[in-house]
Amino acid sequence: MNKKHRAFLKWAGGKYGLSDVIAKMLPKGERLIEPFVGAGSIFLNSDYPHYLLNDINQDLINLYRILQSRPDEFINDARAMFSSENNQAEVYYQLRKEFNASSDPYFRSLVFLYMNRHGYNGLCRYNKSGGYNVPFGKYKRPYFPEDELNYFAEKAQKATFVCESYRDTFARASAGDVIYCDPPYVPLSKTASFTSYAGNGFGLDEQADLANAAEEVIQHPDVCVLISNHDTIWTRKIYEHASKLKSIQVARTISQKGHNRKKVAELLALYK
């Protein structure tokens, strides 16, 4: 068994727990493309010669690029922010305010990591004006992920990071590429409002378009796509042209009370 590697960021919907199952379903190839890289658990727990990693979140991609090019400097500066003095609501809100006012990628990257570990439940959320608005998390002693940062920086030497639409990332695919998509998931309950769901910029039209993009890109020779999502009647419908569907039971990770974390079914759709 190879050692599993955790992402250095807390991330809603992170794929650490599923990385073994996903890695087994991913075909071999020259390059893994991730149009929705998030915290990067599949990148960290797979073995391809090259990676193309995209996310629509510019702060996330800037952080990854800085960690890739200036790891020692960044990790030293980030470590200094994880002190008991900084683990206080007033410091957190002041840094959040400075983050929202700043356009400096290095400063924003440091504070993004700080807020990810000190903010409420590891959430990442912005208001309509683009301001980061996650409240303070009240953790006794936030963990500084030094080993995880070092491993990510080392593995990032095989990666190219981009910030663009998933369609633009799909357009970069060529022979020998494997694409893994982990989009924002469709709502599970029938009462979940489709209109409010679309507020995160990834509604039902985008879900269907992503399935179309997968069907189109595999017309190229030697390209395949794996998509993960909730297992619902609707996702089974939009992925009906996949070569293979696999359903698995997964424990939900974002919940304040551990005993309330129910298992839900997730669907893996392979196009090849």
AA letter at 224: C
Pair of tokens at residue 128: 């309509």
**Was 15 annotated as part of a binding site?**
yes
Q: What is the b/e burial string over 108-143, where b = at least 16 CB atoms within 10 angstroms of the residue's CB? A: bbbbbbbbbbbbeebbbeeeeeeebebebbeeeebe
Tokens 């400097």 identify what position? 73
11 is in an annotated binding site: yes
Residues in the chain: 272
Rounded to the nearest angstrom, the gap between the alpha carbon of residue 72 and the centroid of all alpha carbons in its chain is 23
Task: Count Cβ neighbours within 10 Å for each residue of 58-90 and write b for 16 or more, e otherwise.
Answer: ebbbbbbbbbbeebeebbeebeebbeeeebeee
Binding residues: 11, 15, 55, 182
Binding residues for S-adenosyl-L-methionine: 11, 15, 55, 182
